[in-house]
Amino acid sequence: MQIFHNPNFNFVKYRWPALIVSWVIILAGIIGIFTKGLPLGVEFSGGTIVIVQFDTMPRIDQVRAALDKSFGGEDVVVQEYGNKSLRQVMIRVPHVGREQGTELGEGARQVEAALQASNLGGFKRVGTEIIGPVVGRELTTKGITAFGLSLVFILGYLWFRFQLSFAVGATIATLHDVLVTVAFLVFFRVDLSLNVIAALLTMTGYSTNDTIVIFDRVRENLRGTRRDDLTSLINSSINQTLNRTLITGGTAFLGVVALYILGGEVLRGFAFTMIVGLITGTYSSIYVAAAIVTFWPKGSGGARIASQAPTAGVGAKSATATARQRKGSRSGAKAS
196 lies in the same domain as 80: no
Q: Are residues 197 and 290 in the same domain?
A: yes
200 belongs to a structural domain: yes
Is the model's pLDDT at 154 over the cut of 80? Answer: no
Count Cβ atoms below 10 Å from residue 247 Cβ, excluding itself: 13
> What's the mean pLDDT in 233-246?
87
Predicted confidence (pLDDT) per residue in 256-275, tens digit: 999 998 887 778 889 999 99
Categorize the per-residue pLDDT at 136 as very low, low, confident or very high, splitting at 50, 70 and 90. Answer: low
What local confidence, expressed as pLDDT, does residue 185 receive? Answer: 93
In this predicted structure, what is the pLDDT of residue 104? 55
Q: Where is average pLDDT lowest: 17-21, 232-236, 304-308?
A: 304-308
| Residue 192 vs residue 25, higher pLDDT | 25
Q: Examine the fold and report which residue of 131, 150, 180 is the final residue of a domain before the chain moves on.
A: 131
Q: Measured between alpha carbons, how far apart are the two ends of the chain, in Å?
A: 62
Instruction: Report whether 94 contacts 47 (CB < 8 A).
Output: yes
317 found inside a domain: no
Segment 162-180, tens digit of pLDDT: 778 888 888 888 889 999 9
Write the CB contacts of 73 (distance below 8 Å, at least 6 apart in sequence). 64, 67
Q: Is residue 101 part of a domain?
A: yes
Q: Clarify whether residues 116 and 144 are in a common domain.
A: no
Please identify, among 114, 131, 148, the residue that sits at the C-terminal boundary of a domain.
131
- Please give the pLDDT value at position 227: 53
Contact 25, 61 (CB under 8 A): no
pLDDT (0 to 100) of residue 187: 94
Are residues 247 and 183 part of one domain? yes
Q: Which residue has the higher pLDDT, 328 or 155?
A: 155
Q: Given this model, what pLDDT does residue 321 score? A: 44
Are residues 165 and 297 both part of a single domain?
yes
Report the pLDDT value the prediction gives residue 218, as an integer from 0 to 100: 85
* DSSP 8-state class, residue 2: -
> Which of 115, 131, 147 is the last residue in one of the domains?
131
Q: Report the distance separating Cα 336 and Cα 146, nearest Å.
A: 71
How far apart CA 177 and CA 283 sit, in angstroms, is 9
Q: What is the percent of the chain with per-residue pLDDT over 90, rounded to a whole number?
A: 15
User: Is the residue at 251 inside a domain?
Assistant: yes
Q: What is the CATH number of the domain that holds 109?
A: 3.30.70.3220
Q: Is 297 helix (H, G, I), strand (E, B) or coil?
A: coil
Instruction: Report which of residues 12 and 181 the model is more confident about.
Output: 181
The predicted structure's pLDDT at residue 176 = 92
How many structural domains does the chain have? 2
For residues 158 and 239, state if they share a domain.
Answer: yes
pLDDT at 300 over 60: no
The pLDDT value given to residue 320: 46
Q: Is the pLDDT of residue 161 over 60?
A: yes
How do residues 63-102 score in pLDDT, each as one tens digit?
888 887 777 655 677 888 877 888 888 888 876 555 444 4
Is 1 part of a structural domain of the chain?
no
**How does DSSP assign 121-171, residue by residue?**
--EEEEEEEEE-HHHHHHHHHHHHHHHHHHHHHHHHHHHHHS-HHHHHHHH
The CATH number that applies at residue 236 is: 1.20.1640.10
Mean pLDDT, the chain, rounded, equals 78
In a domain, residue 313? The reply is no
Q: Looking at mean pLDDT, say which of 169-173, 292-296, 303-307 comes out highest.
A: 169-173
103 and 144 assigned to the same domain: no
Q: Higher-confidence residue: 333 or 281?
A: 281
Residue range of the domain that includes 230: 12-37+136-308
Looking at residue 24, what is its pLDDT? 96
Q: Is 294 found in the same domain as 159?
A: yes
* Shared-domain flag, residues 223 and 119: no
Determine the pLDDT at residue 276. 94
The answer as to whether 2 is a domain residue is no
Query: Over 80: is that where the pLDDT of 238 sits?
Result: yes
Above 90 in pLDDT, residue 4? no
pLDDT at 186: 93
CA distance 136 to 13: 45
Same domain, 166 and 294: yes
pLDDT for res 275: 95
* Dist. CA 202–CA 286, nearest whole Å: 19
Residue 102 sits in the same domain as residue 141: no
Q: What are the pLDDT digits (tens) for 29-76?
A: 999 999 988 888 777 777 788 888 988 888 888 888 888 777 765 567
What are the two backbone dihedrals, phi and then psi, of residue 90, each rounded to the nearest 5 degrees? -100, 130
Chain Cα centroid distance, residue 53: 34
Query: Is 141 found in the same domain as 284?
Result: yes
